[in-house]
Amino acid sequence: MSLESYRCDMEGCSRCSSCKWIPLAQIRSQRWSQVCPSVWHNDFHAYSGSGKLNVALSILDGRSDFDESAADIFYACTMCGGCDVGCKVYRNDIDLTDTFHEARARAVELGFARLEHLQLVENMRAENNVFGLPRDERADWAADTSLLDANSEQVDILFHVGCRFSYDESQRDDLLAAVEILRTTGKRVGTSGTAEACCGQRAYECGFDSELHNFGDDMVNRVRTSGASMVAVACSDCFGAFNYLYPRNGKDLGVPVRHISEIAAELAADGSLVGAFSTPNATAAARPRVVTYHDPCHLGRRGEDYAGEFDGPKIDRPDNTRRDGRGGRYDAPRDVLKSLPGVTFVEMQRVREFSWCCGAGGGCAEGSESFSIAVATERLEEALSTGADTLATSCPWCVTNFTSAREQMRADGDHREIEIIGISELAARQISGEVPVTITTTATTCEEAAT
Ligand code: SF4
Ligand code: SF4
């Protein structure tokens, strides 16, 4: 595809601004009614979904140059898809994020790529991970887990760990809890160890398509070698890559992709999730918590199943190829949370396909840090407004960004408390009545390790 191939999307924009808000029928308060972090933060139409389409059309028509300021507008975007869903709910049916992706690919071609994004891609090419940490250390976390080596042994489930979970010690408890959940299925679970590589999603979102293709081919080969009948992930970025971007870009894993929240929800439904974490010595009662849940964009609206392309007029487009967000994974993580002892579950106002983004996506955590943290802080405010003492989510990138935002709030003198936690770790804590693995405040994040 090319930027030119989305001309009809640009020309089809009616300037209705529905892409700036969650749908009218969903709005319960003005305070939590916006959906686009970019126009919210920059407060100027050009930064909205519609505005970006206008800028792209102006470039195609020769009324504007594709210059640094145009690139700034396309990069000031978390690629969250909120605008895309808003437009489709109102049946305007414009493919905004696909258009933005092509604009970013054009920015890379023209030499406007962000330095941080170039570094990210360089890291991936050198060490197979986004942080540039040694590839030989990718599986160090698994030293005591006895997971099977999927490179040499037949497995039922190939667990793709992902870059952040592999290297980020601060999220080790969530990762180890995910492993326990996978083991509870009774299937043979393995990983690719140090042969595992990045899914390529973060580079693709920044406009570097070839990384997705190269890492995609590698992943396809490793799945075939493993003999697995399922790929399991605990990272939402990896889920969105494998479930949508890979098939859309011709990378057929040949097996279904399941997020850990889906697997945990099935175990919770048949009563066996408790077996993953109950111990003979667990005597403490589950800590009472008020928990709210943040929908990661790539497990939700941007992680919908790929249903093929439709080349006809958009008015005839079948619902399952419209990508209006309804096919995201929203119920499974909520079912897990509601099943846990001690948990009172409350919802925020912007949820499911109308969720507010965590701010980490689209290369913003790397290239637009203050914007990224502002977006995460806004979500923490929304979570706090529910009265929750715990914000659970199912993506390590969201956990990282929310944690950074909370640290910034504390540095600014705001000491309101909310615990940020992945759902696997929360399940372990609530069921076991104790912290299953000690978390130390000095745990190394991958950003610290890379510097
Ligand atoms: S909702 Fe769609 S048609 Fe309306 S302004 Fe946004 S992109 Fe344009
Ligand atoms: S993808 Fe998200 S941040 Fe970017 S324009 Fe759309 S709603 Fe705004």
For residue 296, pLDDT over 80 is answered with yes
At 394-409, the pLDDT tens digits run: 999 999 999 999 999 9
Check whether residue 316 and residue 403 sit in a common domain: yes
Same domain, yes or no, for 140 and 97?
A: no
> Strands 289-294 and 343-345: what pairing?
parallel
Question: Does the predicted model carry a pTM greater than 0.85?
Answer: yes
Name residue 158's beta-bridge partners: 190, 231
Instruction: Enter the tokens of residue 62.
Output: 């020769």
Q: 29 and 136 share a domain?
A: no
> Which positions ≥6 away from 23 have C-beta within 8 Å?
86, 89, 90, 354
Tell whether 120 and 85 lie within a shared domain: no
Do 80 and 193 fall within a single domain?
Answer: no
Question: How many CB atoms lie under 10 A from the CB of residue 7?
Answer: 15
- Closest listed residue to residue 235, CA positions, set 335, 167, 292, 188: 167
Question: If you measure from the C-alpha of residue 23 to the centroid of ligand 1, how many angstroms do you get, rounded to a whole number?
Answer: 12
Tell me the per-residue pLDDT of 56-74, one tens digit each, with 9 for 90 and over.
999 999 999 999 999 999 9
**Chain-centre distance of CA 316, in angstroms?**
30
Cα(303)–Cα(158) distance, integer angstroms: 19
Structure tokens at 108: 């890379």
Q: How far is the CA of 122 from the centre of ligand 1 (A)?
A: 36
Mean pLDDT of all residues belonging to the chain: 94
Closest residue (by CA) to atom 4 of ligand 2?
77
Please indicate, yes or no, whether residues 101 and 179 belong to a single structural domain of this protein: no
Amino acid at 392: A
Mapped onto helix, strand or coil, the DSSP state of residue 442 is coil
Residue 440 above 70 pLDDT? no
Q: Which of 21, 83, 354 best tests ligand 2's pocket when mutated (most atoms within 8 Å of CB)?
A: 83
Cβ–ligand 1 contact at 185 (below 6 Å): no
Q: Are residues 102 and 137 both part of a single domain? A: no
Residue closest to 330 by CA, chosen among 312, 311, 350: 350
Q: Which ligand is nearest to the CA of 372?
A: 2
Residue finishing a domain among 84, 109, 134: 109
What separation in angstroms does the CA of 86 have from each of 103, 197, 287?
20, 34, 38
pLDDT above 60 (res 435): no
Residue 279 in contact with ligand 1 by CB distance below 6 A:
no
**Which residue, judged by its Cα, is nearest atom 6 of ligand 2?**
83
pLDDT at 433 over 90: no
Q: Please report the atom of ligand 2 found closest to the CA of residue 82.
A: 7
Same domain, 103 and 145: no
Q: Which of 75, 52, 77 is nearest to 64 (CA)?
A: 52
Res 442: pLDDT = 45
> Are 100 and 130 part of one and the same domain?
no
For ligand 2, residues with CB inside 6 Å are: 35-38, 49, 52, 77-83, 96-97
Are residue 99 and residue 137 in the same domain, yes or no? no
Q: Is 13 in the pocket of ligand 1 (CB under 6 A)?
A: yes
Instruction: Answer yes or no: is pLDDT of 439 > 60.
Output: no
Residues 8-55 have pLDDT tens digits of 999 999 999 999 999 999 999 999 999 999 999 999 999 999 999 999
Domain that holds residue 25: 4-109
Please measure the distance between the N-terminal and C-terminal CA atoms of the chain and give it in whole angstroms. 37
Instruction: Point out the domain boundary residue: 109, 131, 158.
Output: 109
Ligand 1, closest atom to CA 15? 5
Rounded to whole angstroms, the Cα distance separating 178 from 141 reads: 13
Please list, in sequence order, all residues whose beta carbon lies within 8 angstroms of the beta carbon of residue 351, skipping any fewer than 6 positions away.
Answer: 293, 295, 330
Please state, in angstroms and rounded to a whole number, the distance separating the CA atoms of residues 387 and 155. 43
The predicted-structure confidence for 227-252, as pLDDT tens digits, reads as follows: 999 999 999 999 999 999 999 999 99
Do 36 and 147 sit in the same domain of this protein?
no
Write the single-letter amino acid at 450.
Answer: A
Segment 112-137 shows an average pLDDT of 98
Number of domains in the chain: 2
Within 70-201, strands assigned E span 148-149, 157-160, 189-191
Q: Is 14 in the pocket of ligand 1 (CB under 6 A)?
A: yes
**Do residues 236 and 395 make contact, with C-beta atoms less than 8 angstroms apart?**
yes
Distance 18 CA to ligand 1 centre (A): 6
Q: How far is the CA of 253 from the centre of ligand 2 (A)?
A: 29
Q: Which residue CA neighbors atom 1 of ligand 2 most closely? A: 79
Task: Single out the residue in 109, 128, 143 at which a domain terminates.
Answer: 109
Do 138 and 100 lie in a common domain? no
**Structure confidence at residue 283 as a pLDDT band (50, 70, 90):** low
